[in-house]
Chain A
Amino acid sequence: MKNQDTFKGNLGGRISYAMRAYAPLMILIGLVILFTFISPNFMTSYNIRILIRQVSFTAISAVGLMFVMIGGGIDLSIGSQIILTNIVLSIMMVDFQIPLIIGIPLTLVLGTILGIINGMLSIKLKIHPLIVTLGTAAIYKGLGFIIASSRNIMGFPDFFRFFGQGYIGPIPVPIVVMIIVALIGNFVLVRTYFGRYTFALGGNEEAARLAGVNTNRMKVTLFAICGFISAITSILLLSRVFAGQTSTGAGIEFDCLTAALLGGVSFKGGEGTIFGLITGVLIIGVLNNAMQLASFPDFSQNVVKGVVLLAAVGFDTYQKNRKAKETVARVAA
């Protein structure tokens, strides 16, 4: 983001700034080069398309999470929201024969409401969103299980396949949706006053309030955005799996969170870019994909992902601390 650029007077500073800003990208490029050499099936157009489609669902939800995170919050209920909206949409289509033209908007509204509930609870109970969404995650998931009553809901109209399995030209629909969501997300964050308010809320909530921002309304809105976007992911995933299951989307928030942190979105709020986020999502996607190609056992994949996350965030924090120390010293001098 242009407005966050730091003025850098000397070359050393410029290099360290570039390292920080582009570290995720360099990790991604490094991994791609590495796997291209290791595995001949990696760098094929077929595999790349699969890879991006694999990550597109995570990427879309991650954009929603990023809005909440830049505003200083966190949403651990994304996966549970997807489970609930998935089951509700399935039941609407199969049990009630509600046409998609009504079912899809209703699902988006439901997702938004789940987000609003998260937001209202955090501002009314004044509890940290981490705890609030940990609670609502259990509730949303539980509700999904109750109304699904251990069924595997099937029998969707055939053209519903389009969203998760179809193509627009040569590009799979989820990828198109991902690109649109990312572009809109970037535009809102960078170009609109709403984006400014979001960064301000996460950067210094009290200062934002004293500058006339309705911080409570902002928080609820950000959670609502996250819920709305989760509902989009939910619709795409349901179409892809083509059966209403309570396992769809479970745990996706951790991939989103990992991607966001890898991509430089600050856990404390006030910082983050769509570019970084997508890079983070791709790093996870490349790791998953390449390790599957190389038939790594599942568990060791988890170990690698964990190590990459800690290494990347650790490096970032180290850089920031060093910079902060220099700044403090310079200011104090």
Chain B
Amino acid sequence: MNSNVVLSLKDITKKYPGVLALDRVSLDFMEGEVHALLGENGAGKSTLIKAVAGAIDLDGGLITVNGVEHPKMTPHISRGLGIEVIYQEFNLVPTMSVAENIFLGDRTNKSILVDFKTMKTKTREIFSLFNVDINPDAMVQDLPPAKQQIVEIAKAVSKNVKILIMDEPSAPLSVAEVEHMFDIIRHLKQSGVSVIYISHRLEEVFRISDRVTVMRDGQYVATKLTKETNRKELIGLMVGRELKESYPARSNPRGEIALEVKNLSGNGDKDISFSVRKGEILGISGLVGAGRTELAMLLFGADPIESGEIWVEGKPVQIQSPQDAIQNGIGLLTEDRKGKGLFLEMGVGWNISFPIIRRLSKYGIVNTKTENEIAEKYKQRINIKTPSLMQRVINLSGGNQQKVVLAKSLAAESDILIFDEPTRGIDVGAKQEIYHLMRELANNGIAILMISSEMEELLGMSDRIIVLCEGKLAGEVKREQFSQDYILDLASGTH
């Protein structure tokens, strides 16, 4: 890292109806640095990126790139300056090959024909720089998310990227894959590329970044040298107060067995057995692809069981559809809340009452009074921040959307709740609330299964952890054995 400022933002301001999304933000980015951008949801990180990428019109402020002022940034100018953004939702064409995607919009020669040969050669060159092996002819839709991410990075590199902006790049990746991505980022950094790295995961910020800037409510808060700050300070800056990232106290679950799984197979999982007691939070750990979500889908009847038994409260049950699962008191909070958990265009109340709407009906007609009472009850109980029950879910923040998903399961009066990545993509404050809610539910006798990729969360919340590896149960870890290394060993199959 040297001290050349490549990108300088001065008094950047952006207004949306009713919201000041960016409020006079000033910030410099250096050549060859990895600069992390931190902030809760709604802090203005994404808007800031859009400003730099020229995707939005500003209401004030000036962007300077390499000493040249750009009073009106457009996507075209931004790209021309070597600024590339990798958004959370990939911008790849699934039905085209890797090479075609990388050179999409570029012409490698002057002919009207596509020069596949040059494209492929250049693609291989970039991949060898990264030390990865991806077939340039492979269809993007056939690649796992981690490799798609690498294709995105390769695409940026092929365009002579000077400033690479990555929005939550690690979200779809496993631990090993994140490592690999870090290697690539370090490599880019050495060749003078500046990387702006946005993430909710603090540990990553400490591992990869040189400097870190915290934003809050559309305002610049502070920039720190990563070496000279710590977790507690950053969290404090993010939430605007000293907030201890703490986990609610455990109580010793001594309840009866709520759910027992015996030799369950299906959906890629093989011969899995475990049990959960009432009041217990059972963590489920494993790398991406270990079959954790697949297990959840089996237990919830969303995918067919090949063999094995599920026992609820000491009795064997047949679970062949989500309906069966719901009737047996099992609730699922899916990891993909937007794609599978919510009706985004519908209101908060509509969403909360949906799973029980049939029960709330007489002769098929919905009793809207009871419906509203129930929706209101759960809205208040778990503190969903919404102006009204009519508000469309799409307008809520990630944390509040997750609470709506939770409210749905609570309204269905589930006795067994499966949380799949309960805090993915939600901010620190909302995380705390979700943790406390989960513990409170457990204390009220609900059995909880929690799938999580965040080690700290698993260790902090679980009463016991089971680890999956390649579709099999790799081990069970009791409280007194909790350690990150031990669990990672089990998860990676080295144990």
B47's nearest neighbour on chain A, judged by CB, is: A333
Contact of B21 among A7, A13, A203, A333 (CB under 8 A): A333
B355 lies within 8 A of A211 (CB): yes
The distance in angstroms between the C-alpha atoms of A66 and B360, with both chains bound, is 25
Stretch at the interface among A57-65, A161-169, A323-331: A323-331
Contact of A7 among B44, B344, B390 (CB under 8 A): B390
The yes or no answer to B254 lying at the interface (CB within 8 A) is: no
Question: Chain B, interface size: which category?
Answer: 35 or more
The distance in angstroms between the C-alpha atoms of A196 and B351, with both chains bound, is 10
Contact of B390 among A5, A12, A13, A211 (CB under 8 A): A5
The yes or no answer to B46 lying at the interface (CB within 8 A) is: yes
B366 lies within 8 A of A210 (CB): no
- Which chain B residues (316-365) contact chain A, with CB distance < 8 Å? 321-323, 325-326, 332, 334, 339-347, 349-350, 354-355, 357-358, 360-361, 364-365
B21 lies within 8 A of A3 (CB): no
The yes or no answer to A295 lying at the interface (CB within 8 A) is: no
The distance in angstroms between the C-alpha atoms of A211 and B18, with both chains bound, is 34
Distance in angstroms from B27 CB to nearest chain A CB is: 17
The distance in angstroms between the C-alpha atoms of A204 and B392, with both chains bound, is 14
A3 lies within 8 A of B349 (CB): yes
Q: List chain B residues, Cβ under 8 A from A206.
A: 339-340
B365 lies within 8 A of A191 (CB): yes
- Which chain A residues (184-205) contact chain B, with CB distance < 8 Å? 191-194, 196-197, 199-200, 203-204
A191 lies within 8 A of B394 (CB): no
B349 lies within 8 A of A330 (CB): no
B345 lies within 8 A of A203 (CB): yes
Contact of A214 among B14, B323, B343 (CB under 8 A): B323
Q: List chain A residues, Cβ under 8 A from B340.
A: 204, 206-207, 210
The yes or no answer to A253 lying at the interface (CB within 8 A) is: no
Given contacts A331-B395, A333-B44, contact A3 B346 (CB under 8 A): yes
B364 lies within 8 A of A192 (CB): yes
The distance in angstroms between the C-alpha atoms of A203 and B351, with both chains bound, is 11
Q: List chain B residues, Cβ under 8 A from A210.
A: 300, 302, 322, 332, 334, 340-341
B32-74 CB mask vs A (1 if < 8 Å, else 0) is: 0000000000101011001000001000000000000000000
Contact of B321 among A191, A197, A214 (CB under 8 A): A214
The yes or no answer to B387 lying at the interface (CB within 8 A) is: yes
Given contacts A12-B17, A200-B354, A210-B300, contact A193 B387 (CB under 8 A): no
Contacts A203-B343, A204-B343, A330-B16 known; 7 new A-B pairs at CB < 8 A: A3-B350, A192-B365, A199-B346, A203-B345, A203-B346, A211-B322, A327-B394
A-B residue pairs in contact (CB < 8 Å), sample of 8: A192-B361, A193-B360, A193-B364, A210-B302, A210-B332, A211-B355, A329-B21, A329-B56
Interface residues of B (CB under 8 A from A): 14, 16-19, 21-22, 42, 44, 46-47, 50, 56, 218, 300, 302, 321-323, 325-326, 332, 334, 339-347, 349-350, 354-355, 357-358, 360-361, 364-366, 387-388, 390-392, 394-397, 408
